[in-house]
Amino acid sequence: MMAIILVSQDLCTRCGICSVVCPMAIIDPADENTLPQVVDAKAGMCIQCGHCEVSCPSQALLLNIRPDEKVPLPAGAGTISPDDMAFFLKKRRSVRHFTKDPVPKEKILEILDIARYAASGSNGQPVQWLVVHDPKKVKKIAGITIEWMKTLLNTAHPMSGYVPILISAWEQGHDVICRDAPHLLVVHIPEDNPVASVDAIIALTHVDVAAPAFGVGTCWAGFVAAAAMSYEPLQKELNLPTGRKCAYAMMFGYPQYKVYGIPRRKPLEVTWE
């Protein structure tokens, strides 16, 4: 059986950190005669999270999952001051006015690659993406969402009394669904995974947070997401792979306006136990 971890005898200091941080507790610690190891009987329990590798102070350990793709972490990389982090997150806005300039696919892939590292239950990584890059298709999806809203009229649905305003605005030429965004991002998950919806929201939040660093604005597309969960015409339009369903959607593009300040929010409420 292929070894789960590769350990350098020359670099390993036998500190035991890899054994301690392993969430599955499957790494037997080193002793005077052996290096850290995962015995065959425990190998199937590995969730490939990489905690062992990235926590090794001497970089002696390598998780044996595509080891040739290991990227070194430059000294100081990713270090952000608390003030910089605070301002970056506080100035983040939901963008509802976009330019018509398309975001290059290469830039979108860079953002999604960051979201690839989002936390997921047991490191299951169930999230996949659909990028609707064509603005005409985004507009079509918005229109289908309006059609879904029309089916809610005079029903017991919680949105029944609210959708007439949206339908009227749409019919007057205002895109109140996707806000004339050039692109739409759909995060989808396995239909039979009961916790994957949480993983999807975590991953989409990574996109939401990372996008402004690339000059890209985002807005959570709640109306599209709601329609995609139950409206068959929209499900057919999205054409997700068999066995997968929409978890949520996000419109995005280049913001038409810049941000010059930070708005107020409700006071922080915390309970200590």
Taking residues 196-205, what's their average pLDDT? 98
Confidence check: pLDDT of 133 > 80: yes
User: Element (H or E) spanning 185, and its range?
Assistant: strand 183-190
**pLDDT per position as a tens digit, 44-87:** 999 999 999 999 999 999 999 999 988 888 988 989 999 999 99
CATH number of this structure's domain 1-70: 3.30.70.20
Confidence check: pLDDT of 1 > 80: no
The confidence score (pLDDT) of residue 69 equals 87
Name the average pLDDT for the chain: 96
How many percent of the chain have pLDDT more than 70? 100
CA dihedral 70, 75, 78, 83 (to 10 degrees): 170
Task: Indicate where the chain has its CATH 3.30.70.20 domain(s).
Answer: 1-70
Residue carrying structure tokens 């890209």? 216
Confidence check: pLDDT of 166 > 90: yes
Number of CB atoms found within 10 A of residue 266's CB = 5
Number of CB atoms found within 10 A of residue 17's CB = 19
Give me the amino acid identity at 102.
P
**pLDDT per position as a tens digit, 23-45:** 999 999 999 889 999 999 999 99
- pLDDT confidence tier of residue 203, bands split at 50, 70 and 90: very high
Confidence check: pLDDT of 105 > 80: yes
Q: Which residue, 47, 51, 44, 57, is CA-closest to 12?
A: 57
Return the bridge partners of 253, or none.
Answer: 217
CATH number of this structure's domain 87-253: 3.40.109.10
Side-chain-facing half-sphere of 61: CA atoms under 13 Å: 29
Task: Indicate where the chain has its CATH 3.40.109.10 domain(s).
Answer: 87-253
Burial 218-241 (b: 16+ CB within 10 A, else e): bbbbebbbbbbeebeebbebbebe
Whether 163 and 153 have beta carbons less than 8 Å apart is answered as yes
Whether 18 and 27 have beta carbons less than 8 Å apart is answered as yes
